[in-house]
Structure 1
Amino acid sequence: MTRPDVTVVDYGVGNLGSLRNALAKVGHTAEITGDPEIVAAADRVILPGVGAFDRAVERLSESGLGDAVRTAAGRGIPVAGVCLGMQLLMDGSEEGERPGLGLIGGRAHRFPSSIDGARLLVPHMGWSAAVAAKPSRIAPALSSGGRYYFVHSYAVDVDDPADVLTWTDYGRRYASSVERDNVLGIQFHPEKSHRFGLAILRDFAGASL
């Protein structure tokens, strides 16, 4: 049986079907699975996510999928976290108390409700620009920046600025994508970001490190 290009982690949260359909649009196969053994042995892994940080960590821990993602990352294969999935790659989040996967140093912090007295709508929802900070090994399309679709109330601050792929401004500047070695974090939704997002998924599904 032919192995899929990408394995999408199913731990009960995330827009799984949309990711699989978007990957199919760019000519790549994807499987959705909640089996830790399959995730640990995959060729490329996407960790999606929506909702609350602590609940997501609980589900990853209870299912064994958190350890499976760490194992996959430790093998050196491309691993990507999308939206909440990006925040789960970090050490933790202001939203909760549980530790993240710790694959990239940093934490997620909630957007302030106002900036210099002006109200800031939270969550950040809609299209925003991502400005490239460095080239990406895993998804070279990110090196050109672009406009992407965001829905999030928390934004990642990394410990090492060298991990930042793109910056985005919403009330303040934050890391909208990050990369360390074979691990990629994407705060926006590539599956909802039309040609810009599809280019990233095409790159990731074809990446060989």
Structure 2
Amino acid sequence: MSTVAVLDYGTSNLRSVAKALEHVAGKNRRIVVTDDAQAIRRAERLVFPGQGAIGQCMQRLRETGLDDIVREMLGTKPFLGICLGLQSLLSDSEEDGGQQGLGLIPGHVRHFPAAPAGSHMKIPHMGWNRVRQQQAHPLWDGIDDGARFYFVHSYYVMPDDADTIAGSCDYITEFAAAVAWNNLFATQFHPEKSQKDGLRLLQNFLDWND
């Protein structure tokens, strides 16, 4: 039986992510929510979820040594980042007065600009939006280009290398909705809250490179 580790660093949506993974995992995969370094190393896959503020996230990762585990796993096993689990991988963020990220994806996390006068758009960007697939990828299998996913965020990622952008979205400005690089796939949206297509993406992750 293969194991999928869900990184536990105190974020609030761990259980919803784990439940969604369990829903698609079948009998041959075990989903484990853990902060134990050895358990994460033994797992065949790692999911780095998150919601909330990046300052608290980075502090917790550094205090527990999980930042080093994330760096280690990113180079060795299928890795899925979700929302803050994507933003934390960038070089830095404007959030919380400016924070250093893990620097695993060169680039920056920016706050959404103000919406045009008279616009109905508000910050945070919250709700369903269409994602354009910018490159072919196994995690898009069975998901239509332009499928809708669920977002909740006030900041968005700007990778230095545009070739790493796997999906894009429009809200006030165009932004990267998904990033892919080697064994990494990371989304700004929440697949665990995105119904059929979100579950399909999670299933694709579990099947990736099997």
TM score, norm. by length of structure 1 = 0.91
* Range that drifts further, 78-87 or 143-152: 143-152
Q: Which amino acid aligns with 1:64?
A: G
User: How has the CA–CA distance of structure 1 residues 143 and 93 changed in structure 2, closer, same or farther, with 3 Å as cutoff?
Assistant: farther
Asked whether 1:136 is paired with 2:137, we answer yes
Residue in 1 aligned with 2:11? 13
* Range that drifts further, 185-194 or 97-106: 97-106
How many angstroms does 1:98 deviate by? 3.1
Secondary structure of the corresponding residue to residue 86 of structure 1: helix
How many angstroms does 1:8 deviate by? 0.2
Distance 1:27 1:58 in 2: 31
Residue in 2 aligned with 1:22? 20
Q: Is the 8 A contact 2:180 2:186 kept in 1?
A: yes
Structure 2 segments unaligned to the other structure (5+ residues): none
How many angstroms does 1:101 deviate by? 1.7
How many angstroms does 1:118 deviate by? 3.7
Distance 1:80 1:3 in 2: 16
Residue in 2 aligned with 1:87? 87
Q: Is the 8 A contact 1:40 1:69 kept in 2?
A: no
Deviant stretches of 4+, over 6 Å: none
How many angstroms does 1:185 deviate by? 1.2
How many angstroms does 1:139 deviate by? 4.8
Deviations, residues 104-158 of structure 1 (Å, cap 9, x unaligned): 1211111122236646300000000000100114553567341001000001111
Q: Aligned Cα RMSD in Å?
A: 1.8
Residue in 1 aligned with 2:104? 103
User: How has the CA–CA distance of structure 1 residues 158 and 116 changed in structure 2, closer, same or farther, with 3 Å as cutoff?
Assistant: farther
User: How has the CA–CA distance of structure 1 residues 42 and 143 changed in structure 2, closer, same or farther, with 3 Å as cutoff?
Assistant: farther
- Equivalent runs, 1:161-172 vs 2, <5 Å: 161-172=162-173
How many angstroms does 1:16 deviate by? 1.1
Deviations, residues 70-110 of structure 1 (Å, cap 9, x unaligned): 111122x1111101111011111111433212221211111
How many angstroms does 1:173 deviate by? 0.3
Q: Is the 8 A contact 1:126 1:151 kept in 2?
A: yes
Number of corresponding residues: 206
State, as a whole percentage, how many aligned pairs show the same letter. Answer: 38
Secondary structure of the corresponding residue to residue 144 of structure 1: coil
Residue in 1 aligned with 2:183? 182
TM score, norm. by length of structure 2 = 0.91
Secondary structure of the corresponding residue to residue 68 of structure 2: helix
Distance 1:147 1:205 in 2: 21
Residue in 2 aligned with 1:36? 37
Distance 1:139 1:62 in 2: 35
Q: Is the 8 A contact 2:179 2:185 kept in 1?
A: yes
